[in-house]
Structure 1
Amino acid sequence: DLRRLSSSSSLPSSPSSATCNGAADAPSGLASPAPRQPFVIGVCGGTASGKTTVCDMIIQQLHDHRVVLVNQDSFYRGLTEEESEHVEEYNFDHPDAFDTDQLLECMGKLKSGQSVNIPIYDFKNHRRCSESFRKVNVSDVIILEGILVFHDQRVRDLMDMKIFVDTDADIRLARRIRRDTVERGRDVLSVLEQYGRFVKPAFDDFILPSKKYADVIIPRGGDNHVAIDLIAQHIRTKLGQHDLCKLYPNVCVVQTTFQIRGMHTLIRDRDITTPDFVFYSDRLIRLVVEHGLGNLPFTEKQVVTPTGSIYSGVDFCKKLCGVSIVRSGESMENALRACCKGIKIGKILIHRVGDNGQQVECSLNVLPLKMFLKIVHYCGFCE
């Protein structure tokens, strides 16, 4: 933890910055907030209308690991042997083709804060992969995508926002032919026959009527960048940037990027080597320290450049020291030393004692008593 030991000015807060600047302003005895209900978005539309493209673009816009995608296609019922023998007679676009009860069960668990295993459907064999699942973790935003997600009222009732992707029928047919022939190993004649017998009638009977339930209709699908930008902005507003910042005004959160997510993915991989784990952990810690330094108060300072001109820059208002809270804080010391040459670092061990765990004890090392008392007061450990 990095602390500034002067009370003359407060630390600035920014949604795009990082580090914990203390919890002195948090209410005393504040209980952990109850898990927030995730924001559920339903995305419906005809076959090959661009639903998945729209979902991917929304996820890219939100740029956050708190968003997950659930596909209705994962909940196709596996065909029996008799149905498989006459697969050309089976209507995959009818509501009965889906296991809606299992979909509701999985969505209910996600909304209640539980991780779930989503089945994986094999479109070539028309069966679920018996030993493979896709694990979906708890998230702040759940996007549920499928051709019939608006048909069942029980599924609609789970949604906070409903989007209908509206694309011309000719374009959808062309996309379906390309998808089914390339990705699912079917020939053009069978795709056209299935489209005429099942796909178009199901669209007219079940999908198009559900358009009336949509809160937002996106013409042209993924080509409509303006609509997707507006939707992403609306979701950000609904989520409210980082609730922790509202509960604890001195907390700043590093804005998530794909680089940061990539490093988190690497260090969470059980197969990562120890040197790689240390390397990427140090990189993440360095980012946190640099963001923390960026939140400290600066004062203007002028220096003379080697060419003799005057440069107006900045410098820290006060001298800095590091406070390492044992034990995890020690892993950040090297990054702090690398960013702040010659910085002094002291250590504090904080632990709870007693049967009720309410009494807090602090063990001090290195820091002068006056400096220690300022830190303890600033961190909110005492009044």
Structure 2
Amino acid sequence: MEKVERAHYSPPWADTSIIGVAGSSGSGKTSLAVEIVSALNLPWVVILSMDSFYKALTPEENAKAHQNEFDFDAPQAIDFDLLTEKLRDIKAGRLMNGEPDIIVPRGIQNRVAIDMVVGRIRQTLEEKSRRHQADLEHLGKQAEDEPLSGNVAIVNHTIQVKGMSTILQDPLTDDVDFIFYLDRLTTILIEQALEHTHFASFEVETPQGKHYHGVRSTGEVSAVVILRGGSCMETGLRRVIPECKAGRMLIQSSYRTGEPELHFLKLPADIARHDVVMLLDPQMSSGGAALMAVKVLVDHGVEEENVVFVTMFAGRMGVMRLLRVFPGVRTVVVELGEDGVERWVEKRYFGC
């Protein structure tokens, strides 16, 4: 297979801003941080309190603390090594770019200073959003004239598959038939995705006493559902792999910027060791959510080559964007069509 040049892509969370709020004990640092977060109204802003990083006290220090003689403001009371490790996990040791420190006298009562901080943060977020949108557009232009990657598997359009696809895309199809045929089509997609599992030779003795030389899967298969659309593919998943481990992530487009945002994540603890991780989403439009979903898995230790993106209807440009950044990812799709199509599958499946 011809080697594909990997394109650069940085998701919005890769450039995390870290804002330090300093002050003595009881000066109102936490209250000020809570007020700023409340004004921003962003669910993914996290307050990391240094109160969570006090070192465990020795018996002697514990006795002093009970006598109100232990100095909790002393630098040696804080586990700065652990704090630094956690900050590096969030961002590689870099602090927020921009101006000199802001002193906030009177804490949460100083609305002018709080508005200044909130405005500066919003400006930074808007700049990041513009850069992210520009990156997505650039990826699309790069992939515009490229041939379809060999890692894209389009389900064989048998008469059965073609018939089910027609029923699903017919607006006159009633809800019961829509759910029935989507579950059947999902089953076919999952079965094809399992072709990427690793197998080894295995011999069994049949009930007739004969030896049969077959194969057995050598690794574990799991799935990650991209909410909410991916939920309508779970019935088909359970028909093929009843005991399959499944994770979830919620990616939604911002009403302000239109870019995808990660709101919720729960993955199997050992997902990095799984042989195949299927990402389930019935539709792929621009590829933005798919890029974010794969990046999340890679950041959690999943090998790129072990990811299989399973979808029914996908825009060609969206697929090419995904594979320009992650050329090792496999994609299983029923039909490639236009880009930017409004999501409709989950609306029909769930009735809302």
TM range (shorter): 0.3 to 0.5
Q: Pick the structure with more strand per residue.
A: 1
Higher relative contact order (CA 8 A, sep 6+): 1
Structure with bigger gyration radius: 1
Alignment TM-score, normalising by the size of structure 1: 0.34
Alignment TM-score, normalising by the size of structure 2: 0.37
